[in-house]
Amino acid sequence: MPVVALVVDDSMLIRYTVCRFLEERGFAVESATNGLEALQILERVHPNLIVTDMQMPKMSGSELITALKKNPETDTIPIIIVAGRASGFDEKEKRANFAIYKDIDIQGQLEKALDAVMGKSYGQGAGK
C-alpha cells in the first residue's frame, strides 16, 4: 500500500513544488486548494502525512488542523505547516509536527521536515 500525503495550499506553485518533492520520494499525493477541499478528500483517503498552508480562502490551515484534531480518524496524522516567514504562524501553531517557510529553500526544509515526522528513510528518495 503506498504512503499517501495530502498537500493543501492555495498557491499552485507551492502545491506543485511540494507534490513533486513528495512524489520523488515515493509518496502517492493528493492535493487541495483549501481546508474545505482537504476535508472532502479525507472522506475517501487516509493520508500518512498532511502538508498545509495556513492562510487560505474558505478554510484556513488552522481551522483545518482543528477539524483534524477533533476527528479520531485523523488526529494522529503528522502535519507539516508551510507558511510565509512574516505570517508568524509557526510560532503560534503548536499542534503541527513541523513548520517550514515557503520563502526559503522549500525543498531543503521539506527534507528536514520529512526526516523529523516520517523517519530518516523518507528523506533518502530518488535523485539523492
Contacts by residues 35-39 (CB-CB < 8 Å, ≥ 24 positions apart): 35/8, 35/59, 35/60, 35/61, 35/63, 35/64, 35/67, 37/8, 38/6, 38/8, 38/64, 39/64, 39/67
Are 78 and 50 a contacting pair, CB within 8 Å?
yes
pLDDT at 36: 96
pLDDT at 122: 57
The residue range of the domain holding 110 is 3-120
H or E segment and range at residue 84:
none
In a domain, 60, yes or no: yes
pLDDT band at 7 (very low <50, low <70, confident <90, very high): very high
Instruction: Tell whether the model's pLDDT for residue 64 goes beyond 60.
Output: yes
The mean pLDDT value for 60-65 works out to 90
Number of domains in the chain: 1
Higher pLDDT, 47 or 13: 47
Instruction: Tell whether the model's pLDDT for residue 86 goes beyond 50.
Output: yes
In a domain, 109, yes or no: yes
Which residues are CB-neighbours of 24 under 8 A, at least 6 positions away?
125, 126, 127
CATH number at residue 52: 3.40.50.2300
pLDDT tens digits for range 92-103: 557 787 777 776
In a domain, 126, yes or no: no
CA 33 centroid distance within chain = 12
Percentage of the chain exceeding pLDDT 70:
84
DSSP class of 122: G
